[in-house]
Amino acid sequence: KDRSQDAPVVGITSSLRAFTHKAHGSQVNPFNSIISIEEVGDSGYFLPPYHAEDWVAFEAAWVRIVYQLIKENPDIQFSLRPHPLENPRFYETFERFSNLTVNPRGHIAEWLTSLDALCSSFSGSMLDGYFRRIPVVSIRNLIPARILAGIHPSIPGIPHEKHFVAPDTL
């Protein structure tokens, strides 16, 4: 690793699907997004009796947690990598922080070599980091249980998730 700076570099990978999906282009219509989530529902967003608002709450919680993590840790350099199906343009709002860069391009293996640790939740990237011997931290315990209860069980039920450290506080 090229350590031209003293701050540790923590990577953050996302796996959001609704509001940041490339299919929306650069303009998200929240009504269309909610209706699409509702129509797709039990094939990946929620199971009845839950609805689209539960998935929206999940994505909102994820964004809030990442925002707080970056804001409250100015001594850490963060490198955020959107999921390949996401439009990275939506992450530009995070670039107001001097301790953050958004890195949507290139192979994940190359990006991982620049990190001291990886932070994520419910993502295959956690395994990528693990097999490259990068410490992996899950943010799953920072997402309120009431929100996790309303999303499709295949998301919080990813088997590898339980093997990573998951702090209860930022």
Q: Rounded to an integer, what distance in angstroms lies between the CA atom of residue 92 and that of residue 1? A: 25
Looking at residue 28, what is its pLDDT? 87
Look up tokens 């290139």; give the residue: 106
What pTM was estimated for this model as a whole?
A: 0.90
Looking at residue 5, what is its pLDDT? 61
Each residue's pLDDT tens digit, 122-152? 999 999 999 999 999 999 999 999 999 999 9
Alpha-helix residue ranges (DSSP H) falling in 50-121: 52-71, 108-112
Give the rounded percent of residues in the chain with a pLDDT score beyond 90.
Answer: 78
Each residue's pLDDT tens digit, 86-123? 999 999 888 899 999 999 999 999 999 999 999 999 99
Phi, psi dihedral angles at 70 (to 5 degrees): -70, -45
Of 2-6, 64-68, 138-142, 149-153, where does mean pLDDT reach its minimum? 2-6
Looking at residue 74, what is its pLDDT? 95
